[in-house]
């Protein structure tokens, strides 16, 4: 195999490994954040509440035990990923689509007469496009659910105050709220009607929708069913917290808008400039591929690009 192609493939694999490694490190902190926010909300931890919270946190953090464990969990939970994104394609159809997109990306790289070392990069870009579309679709659905959660909790609190049961409150949300929250709560209601305990049905909802605020709701319901308490008041407090968090998050996004735009420009400028120079003077660019020093510079550039993207994301991604 051409050493240039080998170096580019190694660079792509290294970049993927770096992204997954950073993601694993970032996700490993979510468990402690969940416990801290739960303690701040409740004002303390009962023994039963701690056990329920720890169980749910362990379920949510089971896939973040390491790089290889995370990769295995990703492939194991691939059907759940498609369900969260409401993909119209089955996993096997989607994999076939990715293969066709990879072939199309490599063919386009050949047609535009790109250097041989960039053909695998074009194939990888084509392979990544369907995954990027699916990831964006999933992210959009989860964000929409997150935005509807406060209204759903307030609606359930009103139903409980009017004398309805928790099951009836779930049915009210399923019938009155728009998708996707109505579909998810309808599944919980149907599972409960089929004999599944309400705690188990809510934990299944949490597995389908990995959301921090929803985790508070599930923990509150589990604790209330074992220890008692005014669930309507608890739901109102959670709803108020969610609304305030969204308000602060909007302010943070407005203040970090300049940084996000700067990050996009800085990340997009090098590849666009490379393409423009290659189009104007291909011989000038081919030095990077024909010489050993040039190939090392390309590898270092790719690594620094990924490192810069991670640093910029850490600066502008403020947890609320």
Overall average pLDDT of the 134-143 stretch = 90
Q: Sorting pLDDT into bands at 50, 70 and 90, what band is 320? A: low
Residue that finishes a domain, picked among 181, 210, 242: 242
Q: Are residues 153 and 225 in the same domain?
A: yes
Q: In this structure, are 158 and 223 located in the same domain?
A: yes
Residue 201 lies in a domain: yes
Q: What is the mean pLDDT of the chain?
A: 76
- 105 assigned to some structural domain: no
Specify the CATH number for the domain of residue 178.
Answer: 1.20.81
Q: Which residue has the higher pLDDT, 73 or 104?
A: 104
Q: Do both 220 and 283 map to the same domain?
A: no
Q: Domain of 167?
A: 143-242
> What distance in Å separates the CA atoms of residue 76 and residue 68, rounded to the nearest whole number?
12
In this structure, the answer to whether residues 233 and 312 fall within a common structural domain is no
**Does 237 lie in the same domain as 169?**
yes
pLDDT value at position 53? Answer: 45
Mean pLDDT of 83-90: 84
Please tell me which residue, 62 or 269, carries the higher pLDDT value. 269
- Work out the pLDDT band at 312, boundaries 50, 70, 90: confident
Would residue 249 count as lying in a domain? Answer: yes
| Percent with pLDDT over 90 in the chain | 4
208 lies in the same domain as 252: no
pLDDT at residue 71 in the model: 43
| pLDDT tens digit sequence for 197-256 | 888 898 889 888 888 888 888 888 888 888 877 888 888 888 888 888 888 888 888 888
Q: Domain for residue 194, yes or no? A: yes
Task: Tell me, yes or no, whether 236 and 247 share the same domain.
Answer: no
User: Mean of the pLDDT values across residues 74-103?
Assistant: 81
At 105-117, the pLDDT tens digits run 888 888 877 777 7
- Same domain, residue pair 234 and 269: no
pTM to 2 decimal places: 0.66
Domain shared by 291 and 274, yes or no: yes
Q: Specify if 206 maps to a domain.
A: yes
Number of domains in the chain: 2
Higher pLDDT: 320 or 302? It is: 302
**What's the pLDDT score for residue 48?**
42
Both 213 and 268 in one domain: the answer is: no
The pair of structure tokens assigned to 292 is: 């050993």
* Domain shared by 165 and 206, yes or no: yes
Tell me the pLDDT tens digit for each residue of 27-56: 444 444 544 444 444 444 444 444 444 444
In a domain, 112, yes or no: no
Choosing from 194, 226, 242, the residue where a domain stops is 242
Domain end, chosen from 242, 259, 285, is at 242
pLDDT for res 2:
54
């Amino acid at each position: 195999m051409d050493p240039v192609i080998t170096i580019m493939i190694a660079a792509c694999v290294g970049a993927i490994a770096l992204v997954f490694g950073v993601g694993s490190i970032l996700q490993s902190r979510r468990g402690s954040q969940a416990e801290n926010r739960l303690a701040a909300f409740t004002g303390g931890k009962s023994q039963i509440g701690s056990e329920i919270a720890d169980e749910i946190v362990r379920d949510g953090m089971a896939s973040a035990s390491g790089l290889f464990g995370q990769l295995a969990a990703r492939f194991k939970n691939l059907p759940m990923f498609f369900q969260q994104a409401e993909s119209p394609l089955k996993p096997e159809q989607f994999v076939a689509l990715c293969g066709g997109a990879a072939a199309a990306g490599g063919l386009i790289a050949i047609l535009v007469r790109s250097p041989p070392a960039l053909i695998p990069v074009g194939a990888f870009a084509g392979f990544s496009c369907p995954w990027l579309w699916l990831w964006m679709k999933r992210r959009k659905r989860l964000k929409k659910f997150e935005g509807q959660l406060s209204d759903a909790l307030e609606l359930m609190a009103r139903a409980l105050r009017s004398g309805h049961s928790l099951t009836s409150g779930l049915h009210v949300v399923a019938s009155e709220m728009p998708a996707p929250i109505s579909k998810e709560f309808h599944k919980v209601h149907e599972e409960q009607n089929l004999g599944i305990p309400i705690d188990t049905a809510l934990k299944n909802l949490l597995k389908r929708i990995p959301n921090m605020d929803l985790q508070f709701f599930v923990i509150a319901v589990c604790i209330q069913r074992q220890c008692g308490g005014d669930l309507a008041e608890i739901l109102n407090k959670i709803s108020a917290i969610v609304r305030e968090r969204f308000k602060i998050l909007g302010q943070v996004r407005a203040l970090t808008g300049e940084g996000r735009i700067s990050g996009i420009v800085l990340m997009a400028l090098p590849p666009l400039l490379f393409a423009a120079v290659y189009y104007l003077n291909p011989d000038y660019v081919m030095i990077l591929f024909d010489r050993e020093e040039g190939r090392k510079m390309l590898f270092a550039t790719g690594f620094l690009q990924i490192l810069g993207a991670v640093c910029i994301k850490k600066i502008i991604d403020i947890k609320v």
